[in-house]
Amino acid sequence: MSAHSIFSPSASHRILNCPPSLMLCSGAADQPSPYAAEGTCAHELCAYLVEKALGRDVKDPTEDLDYYSAEMQSCAEGYASFVMEEYEKARETCPDARVFIEQRVDISRWVPGCGGTADCIILSDGVLEIIDYKNGTGIPVSATSEEYGGNTQLMCYCLGALEMFDGIYDIDSVKMVIYQPRRDNISTYAMSKEDLLAWADGVLAPTARLALEGKGEFRAGDHCRFCRVKATCRKRAEYNLEAAKYDFKMPAELEDYEVDSILMMADRLTSWANDVKEYALAEALKGKEYEHFKIVEGRSNRKYTSEEDVAKTVEAAGYDPWERKIRGVTAMTSMLGKKKFEELLGGLTYKPRGKPALVPRTDKRPEMKNTAEEDFKE
Ligand code: SF4
């Protein structure tokens, strides 16, 4: 297998944290997901709308997009407007600024055979900007990372773009932007070209070399979430089981600080246990036998064999089988699109207070004050 097919910028954060995961994952099958397919459609639409806004001759892909929806259209329009605003800003200082969409970039100077596709590159004298569209509704993706400053996927794209364009444009810094509309998340990070190249030479290249040789230290952490072997990885199991070995102390009841440490590991342990359960179910369905577990049918509710026949029968008996309900906010937004929804219904919606939840202090939401319990009762 060529290096090209296994080291991808999108997996770079995991590989830099756990180099041997690269070769381990290369032998494990990737699970196709409807979210990934939806993301591909959204990217196609985004690319089309930006190219169109730039006045380029492009074919409208909408009718071929399997997951097309009004929400996708509205998110892609938002992205296209954002790109155009960034482009206009760049043109204020550099009239020759240029936009490249879905641009292949190559970083084999640091990682043999490695390349990727940058959603959008805006080039101007001084700054190289990469804008990455994320379609996910899960965790907000950050343009920064604790260990390396920037998001490593975007840092890789910046390196590839520098390889192509540095020299044509006089670049001294790079700007990375994550645009994730379904989480209302726009995250930005800038760094100097010098720092980026120092990271590429001092961290990316040597770690990638180790990874491609199947060497380096296994290291478990949050990055395991995107690893193909996360359910069966021994290092991750050891890491989680070690965390679970709680050293209970006297007196009989836990102190507050002990409860605090258990909470710290609870989410991680739950997520790991769910990965293992999901994996084991898939294996059991393929025929694997586990000593203490078996497959049973889950609970199910009665269903109609034919809604049409049910309606006819109930009507014939003199009753109305139908109920008419207003669409919920999500379904209505999806029908109208975000913009129209706000225009028509912005003043007719409100946000009830959410149920109190205990979350890590690193969570970005503001803290509910001491009166949280009373507030909630009210
Ligand atoms: S699950 Fe985590 S520790 Fe195990 S190989 Fe994957 S990234 Fe490394």
Q: Could you report the average pLDDT of every consecutive run of 10 residues in the chain (378 residues)?
A: 68 96 83 87 97 95 92 94 96 94 96 95 95 94 94 97 91 97 95 97 96 94 91 92 71 81 86 93 93 90 94 96 92 86 94 84 79 54
Residue 248 CA to ligand 1 center (angstroms) comes to: 29
Q: Do 122 and 261 belong together in one domain? A: no
Residues 111 and 64 in one domain: yes
Q: Is the CB of 128 under 6 A from ligand 1?
A: no
- How many A from CA of 15 to the centre of ligand 1? 9
For residue 1, what pLDDT is reported? 41
Whether 242 and 153 map to the same domain: the answer is: no
**What is the whole-number distance in angstroms between the Cα of residue 25 and the centre of ligand 1?**
9
* Same domain assignment for residues 46 and 110: yes
Query: How many A from CA of 183 to the centre of ligand 1?
Result: 27
Residues 108, 256 within the same domain: no
Do 71 and 187 have their domain in common?
Answer: yes
CB 220 near ligand 1, within 6 Å: yes
Which among 246, 261, 285 is the end of a domain? 285
- Residue 275 maps to a domain: yes
The residue from 158, 181, 212 where one domain ends is 212
Q: Is residue 230 in contact with ligand 1, taking CB distance under 6 Å?
A: yes
* The last residue of a domain, from among 285, 313, 331: 285
In-domain check, residue 344? no
| 144 occurs within a structural domain | yes
Q: Is 304 within a domain?
A: no
Within a domain: 370: no
Whether residue 306 lies inside any domain: the answer is: no
141 found inside a domain: yes
Query: Domain check: are 199 and 269 in the same one?
Result: no
The CATH number of whichever domain residue 87 belongs to comes to: 3.90.320
Distance (Å) from CA 20 to ligand 1 centroid = 8
Q: Is residue 128 part of a domain?
A: yes
Total domains in the fold of the chain: 2
* From 218, 225, 239, 241, mutation site for ligand 1 pocket: most ligand atoms within 8 A of C-beta: 218
Check whether residue 206 and residue 124 sit in a common domain: yes
Cβ–ligand 1 contact at 218 (below 6 Å): yes
Does residue 117 sit in the same domain as residue 245? no
Domain holding 141, by residue range, is 3-212
For ligand 1, atom 3, the nearest C-alpha belongs to 220
One domain for residues 192 and 237: no
3-state secondary structure the chain: CCHHHHCCHHHHHHHHHCCCHHHHHHCCCCCCCHHHHHHHHHHHHHHHHHHHHCCCCCCCCHHHCCCCCHHHHHHHHHHHHHHHHHHHHHHHHCCCCEEEEEEEEECCCCCCCCEEEEEEEEECCEEEEEEEECCCCCCCCCCEECCCEECHHHHHHHHHHHHHHECCECEEEEEEEEEEHHHCEEEEEEEEHHHHHHHHHHHHHHHHHHHHCCCCCCCCCHHHHHCCCCCCCHHHHHHHHHHHCCCCCCCCCCCHHHHHHHHHHHHHHHHHHHHHHHHHHHHHHCCCCECCECCCCCCCCCCCCCHHHHHHHHHHCCCCCCCCCCCCHHHHHHHHCHHHHHHHHHHHCCCCCCCCCCCCCCCCCCCCCCCHHHHHHC
Residues 163 and 274 in one domain: no
Based on the domain organization, do 53 and 190 belong to the same domain? yes
